[in-house]
Structure 1
Amino acid sequence: MKTSVVHYSRYLLLFGIILLPLFGKLETVPIRVWDEARQAINAYEMSKNHNFLVTYFEGQPDMWNTKPPFLIWLQVVFMKVFGVSVLAVRLPSAIAAFLTCVLLLFFSERYLKSFWFGFIAVLLLVCAQGYVHYHATRTGDYDALLTLFTTAGNLFFFLHCESKKTKYLYLFFAATALGVLTKSVSGLLFLPALAIYAFYSKQFLPLIRNKHFYVGLTGCLLAVLGYYGLREVYNPGYLEAVYQNELGGRYLTAIEGHTGGFWFYYDDLINYRFPEFYLFIPCGVVIGLASKEGPFRKMAAFSFLATLTFFLIISTGKTKLPWYDVPLFPFYALLSAITLYCFFTILKKSTLITSLFQWNPLPFLLLFLLFINPYKRMKDKVMNPVEASSDVELYEMGYYLKDAVKGKHPTQDRFFVFEGYNPHNNFYIHMLKERGVTTGLKEWSSLAEGDKITTYQKTIQQHIEENYHTTRMEEAGNIVTYEIQQRKH
């Protein structure tokens, strides 16, 4: 009985540790303008028009965001459950991150026969600045969900190569299909590594001779090509837009000025995204490949190959964005965990300590000392987020509208006037309308006497003050609410 309690308490400890970084205060930071707001509007419009094949933006088929809609479907489901809200937009990413942690633990226990290796790998993952971050687990973007499916696909493929069990092969194809239906070609970027590993492990010929390989491949192709084909039928021009946005156009040229050198992702990794632990990655590769234990050696070889191949692919692409490396973080965690687990095991086997005490605290003390500061920084980042100075003005209206949804600002019978691309603000206006508030957007060229107008942009405020007699009803920082009296002559 005592052993059983200890056994389950360690799972509760781990899940308690990861819940705060992954789920804590998901709604605190306003909707991000790139690209979360786009997905939020896509999901909102899908929930209204019930077109589950074609994503819409501002009433038109979205030909800029051409990703398949698996994430959007999940957001729509959560909107039906929780209402139109920031939580509904972000929960799929948070849950995907949680399931990725569960997957790492499952893999560690099933293949490596070690709970504590999985414990360490999960801690490394949830303390990674680049993983628990915007455009990953903390926002309603594709990358956390993509990472769940690419990680699952890779590990299931590896487990099939090791065990020859058919179920892992089918799970690999299912995860691959879901990865593509989440973020298009990004779901396929690990495939070269898997092909190389199949040759390396002498599993390539058995694989292509296996009838289940072709059954799984057929199912995967039917799901993916079926979606793309149907979307093109109902949304002509879609495939051309996909090519320009996601394939040759994005990889061969820098889209929207997102440039960077070959070492873009390496510099980002060591300076911000994994700064406390990045040196453990090469150490883990060396220790793992030198290990006398076959499972650790094979896992290290596979993880290193997957990491290196994916890293080279995104590094040679012309378009560089910080979140393109998010699918690498579970493998960074596995490789780094090899190093830490090596020291953990050495301390755990110390006979001197066990002769003096009933239990050996040293390995756990090591983990505490290594993770206490990174975890505290992650807790502060999640619970007390601070906008970058360059983003304060950009998201000022977002904070205002977030408070307005909570009733902290009067918005009944008031209209909002924005200039330019504002889906991050428009989503909150949809939220207000869903809560029965009479509000909406107005063009600044069609203001009328008696209108109550809220805006944050100086150009619009200047236009209103130069062309209308007004009363200022409310001021909150740069945000001003006017009541239009009459037009100046």
Structure 2
Amino acid sequence: MKVKREILVIAFKLFILSLFCSFPIFIHLDILPIRIWDESRLSINAYEMLKNNNWLIPYFEGKPDMWNTKPPLMIWMQVLCSKIFGYSELAMRLPSAIAAFLLVLFLSYFAKRYLKNFWFGLITCIVLVTSYGFINVHGTRTGDYDSLLCLFLVVYSLSYFLYLEQKNKRNLIFFFIALILAVMTKSIQGLLFLPALFIYTLIDKKFFIFKDLNVYKGIALFVFTIGAYYLLREMYNPGYLNAVWENELGGRYMNTVEEHTGEFLFYYNMLLKHHFKEWIWLVPIGFIIGISFRNILFRKLTYFSALISLSYWLIISISKTKLEWYEIPLFPFLAMLIAMGIFGIFYYLLIEPKLKTIFLFPVMSFLFLFSLSFVPYTKMVDKVYLPKEYPWDDEFYQLSYYLKHALNKLEETRAYNICYDGYHAHILFYLNQLNDLGQNIGFKDWVFLEKGDLIIASQSNVKQYIEQYYIYELISENKTIKKYKIIDLKC
């Protein structure tokens, strides 16, 4: 009877955790069209992998992709989701959402296993899923690398922490598996927590690890696995290693790539003003309360989380190339620091004898937790339930929405060509699907149009050129989208 009751309690707690966290992570993932750059690139890589069955080398427009040089773990997951659910925005984004949900479960498991406390894990997860920069495009809400990377970074960091504390070989195995998967997700960025782990090992005087034969076996496994992939890829895709160097290693860290620059405090200001503004003020409070716990386990985890956060923040802040989604791996450890403060007060209200005589003792604890999380959670629900474009993106994605509607047979696109100026992978995502439906739609240079061409255009410069240099019939107009039939070239 007692065992059955414990199982029911665990199941109820997991239900509460899942209910609270799954809504911001999973709801309405496919409302927004595919985003330009990384998500669209990965989506085309996944589409071509579905077609050519080459699981080693991602392709883009029929050629080996030498711009997106990351290992293909994320693409593999998108392909698998496409085989199950069909090729769509949802299939592209599910790996990111599933990774975020698994991260929530892992943090809860870690809190229960290490701290023997479910509530600390729940509070950590509440903070995490109400963090604007975590539940965001190019994070958990789109088909980009960063949510999956974040999962593996956290798993290998906390597995290593547990190994130092408990010397359980299983934790070391989890560390190396997650480390390999982190690198297979986003290459060199999967290693960026290692400096903090090394420093923590020295500070905590866990020198036994340098004599542990299992550690060296794990290092050998890591080098063999990652090395085998890169060498095999170079063998079948000559020039790949040079492209990796230019795109991911010295080229990106020491130089500004694609004008993605920013000041040293770029990430601090982003957290303070936008992506973590609901919670960031609690970070120092959480750190102070965390190192004040009588329980040494809480104190150690506080120092560990602070070191990981500071080290990673310094690494990405020093980098010449700055992109706002590089901060995503910070959120779980900042959430744990904040949870230290909230849990300290929560637990005090729960056990303080004087309060027990004045109030129904659990009530104050849960009211405190509810009052802190209510506003961030309702804002997050508003953000994800009906996702909206940023004002500066609204016009840009009009053509994507138009083609998305065409897939649902709400617009006629058969035998039309798209005239589009610039990088077009986010448009190609929809064209590939329309062509699979027999629509025979493609791209065409607006400078070389011919009599009888049916054209769709959305960009002002393209429409202006067509209307200036061609005799045309305007078939329809919808917001920024114009459909033309070319009659002839103007004399």
Q: TM-score, normalised by structure 1?
A: 0.96
Distance 2:6 2:192 in 1: 43
Q: Structure 1 residue 21 and structure 2 residue 28: aligned?
A: no
Aligned to 1:95: 98
Distance 1:156 1:6 in 2: 26
Distance 2:56 2:295 in 1: 48
Aligned to 2:325: 323
Aligned to 1:30: 33
* Of 77, 81, 85, the match for 1:82: 85
Q: Deviation per CA, 1:457-480: give whole Å up to 9, x if none.
A: 222222322333322222111110
* Of 280, 285, 288, the match for 1:286: 288
Aligned to 1:230: 232
* Of 345, 361, 369, the match for 1:367: 369
Amino acid at match of 1:231: R
Aligned to 1:263: 265
Aligned to 1:177: 180
Q: Structure 1 residue 308 and structure 2 residue 310: aligned?
A: yes
Amino acid at match of 1:363: S
Out of 117-126 and 417-426, give the one that drifted further.
417-426
Q: CA deviation at 1:25?
A: 0.7
Distance 1:165 1:128 in 2: 33
Distance 1:207 1:141 in 2: 35
| 1:171-210 correspondence runs (5 A) | 171-204=174-207, 206-210=208-212
Q: Structure 1 residue 404 and structure 2 residue 406: aligned?
A: yes
Distance 1:174 1:91 in 2: 22
Question: 2:349 touches 2:361 (CA, 8 Å); kept in 1?
Answer: no
Q: CA deviation at 1:444?
A: 2.4
Q: CA deviation at 1:49?
A: 1.6
Q: Structure 1 residue 61 and structure 2 residue 64: aligned?
A: yes
* Of 479, 485, 488, the match for 2:487: 485
- SS at structure 1 position matched to 2:328: helix
Distance 1:425 1:353 in 2: 61
Amino acid at match of 1:201: D
- Check 1:434–1:356 CA distance in 2 against 1; reply closer, same or farther (3 A cut): farther
Question: 2:96 touches 2:144 (CA, 8 Å); kept in 1?
Answer: yes
Amino acid at match of 1:343: I
Q: Structure 1 residue 125 and structure 2 residue 128: aligned?
A: yes
Q: CA deviation at 1:9?
A: 2.4
* Of 448, 452, 477, the match for 2:454: 452
Question: 2:351 touches 2:361 (CA, 8 Å); kept in 1?
Answer: no
Question: 1:152 touches 1:175 (CA, 8 Å); kept in 2?
Answer: yes
Q: Deviation per CA, 1:189-215: give whole Å up to 9, x if none.
A: 1101111111222223x2122221122
* Of 168, 173, 177, the match for 2:171: 168
Amino acid at match of 1:272: H
Question: 2:453 touches 2:485 (CA, 8 Å); kept in 1?
Answer: yes
Amino acid at match of 1:17: F
Distance 2:267 2:422 in 1: 31
Q: Deviation per CA, 1:85-115: give whole Å up to 9, x if none.
A: 1111111110110011111101000000000
Q: Deviation per CA, 1:249-294: give whole Å up to 9, x if none.
A: 1111111222212111111111111111112212222222222101
Question: 1:121 touches 1:333 (CA, 8 Å); kept in 2?
Answer: yes
Distance 1:19 1:446 in 2: 50
Q: % of aligned pairs identical?
A: 45
Q: Structure 1 residue 378 and structure 2 residue 380: aligned?
A: yes
Q: CA deviation at 1:387?
A: 1.9
Superposition RMSD in Å: 1.7
Amino acid at match of 2:341: T
- Check 1:156–1:324 CA distance in 2 against 1; reply closer, same or farther (3 A cut): same
- SS at structure 2 position matched to 1:194: helix
Distance 1:426 1:147 in 2: 28
Question: 1:84 touches 1:434 (CA, 8 Å); kept in 2?
Answer: no
Aligned to 2:157: 154
Amino acid at match of 1:425: I
Amino acid at match of 1:80: K
* Of 125, 138, 142, the match for 1:139: 142
Out of 454-463 and 332-341, give the one that drifted further.
454-463
- SS at structure 2 position matched to 1:130: coil
Distance 1:13 1:179 in 2: 29
Question: 1:258 touches 1:321 (CA, 8 Å); kept in 2?
Answer: yes
Gaps of 5+ in 2: none
Amino acid at match of 1:318: K
Q: CA deviation at 1:2?
A: 6.7
Q: CA deviation at 1:386?
A: 2.5
* Of 296, 299, 304, the match for 1:297: 299
Distance 1:50 1:444 in 2: 34
Aligned to 1:250: 252
Amino acid at match of 2:153: T
- Check 1:172–1:5 CA distance in 2 against 1; reply closer, same or farther (3 A cut): closer
Q: How many matched pairs?
A: 488
